[in-house]
Copies of this chain bind each other. A is one copy, B any other.
């Protein structure tokens, strides 16, 4: 057995660690996932993980960053003309699986700079996209920042609380009807 494995490219191993972490964070949550468990799932020892990532929180930040990049790619590829309620429904569906991560994101953003930065960037990008939709529909420019907050808070709320599908849809409809006008 080799004591180290330089046969595997470092970028690949970074990815393996990140994937193992994502999978476990999803299924078990951040707190209940130990660094040892992530390392085992990635086929390395715990201390090797620290060569690739500065710590558990930075690894979490990297996972979130990867997911948000994917999310924005999907969102930007959608037709900007589509009805608001359809876009919102897609957003909720796309982020639904990440529910436990979103809660953790807010928790850790309070104490970790790395995570606060990811969180901040996400809100900024979402705000820009909602802003474009509002502007296209002729919403009063001065009121837009407040409306953007209400929309993104409501989306976050939908993701953080278990609602029945019909209730969820009703919230989306009400947002489309009352806020995007």
Residues of A within 8 A of B (CB): 29, 31-32, 100, 103-104, 106-107, 110-111, 123, 143, 145-147, 149-150, 152-154, 156-158, 160-161, 163, 167, 170-171, 173-175, 178-179
Q: Contact between A149 and B145 (Cβ–Cβ < 8 Å)?
A: no
- 14 interchain pairs, CB-CB under 8 A: A31-B31, A103-B106, A106-B106, A106-B160, A123-B161, A143-B174, A145-B167, A146-B167, A147-B174, A150-B171, A153-B153, A156-B157, A157-B157, A178-B179
Task: Specify the chain B residue showing the minimal Cβ separation from A32.
Answer: B111
Which residues on the B side are within 8 Å of A146 (C-beta)?
Answer: 167, 170-171, 173-174
Q: Which of A103, A152, A179 has the most CB of B within 10 A?
A: A103
Residue in contact with A178 in the complex, picked from B163, B167, B178, CB distance below 8 Å:
B178
Chain B nearest CB, measured from A104 CB (Å): 6
Q: Contact between A150 and B170 (Cβ–Cβ < 8 Å)?
A: no
Which residues on the B side are within 8 Å of A104 (C-beta)?
Answer: 107
Task: Specify the chain B residue showing the minimal Cβ separation from A119.
Answer: B161
Q: Which of A147, A150, A173 has the most CB of B within 10 A?
A: A150
Q: Contact between A153 and B158 (Cβ–Cβ < 8 Å)?
A: yes
Which residues on the B side are within 8 Å of A179 (C-beta)?
Answer: 178
Give CA–CA (A145, B143) in the complex, Å.
Answer: 25
Give CA–CA (A156, B149) in the complex, Å.
Answer: 11
Q: Contact between B167 and A157 (Cβ–Cβ < 8 Å)?
A: no
Q: Contact between A149 and B167 (Cβ–Cβ < 8 Å)?
A: yes
Q: Which 4 A-B pairs rank lowest in CB-CB distance, beginning with the nearest? A: A153-B157, A146-B174, A146-B170, A153-B154
Task: Specify the chain B residue showing the minimal Cβ separation from A30.
Answer: B107
Which residues on the B side are within 8 Å of A156 (C-beta)?
Answer: 153, 157
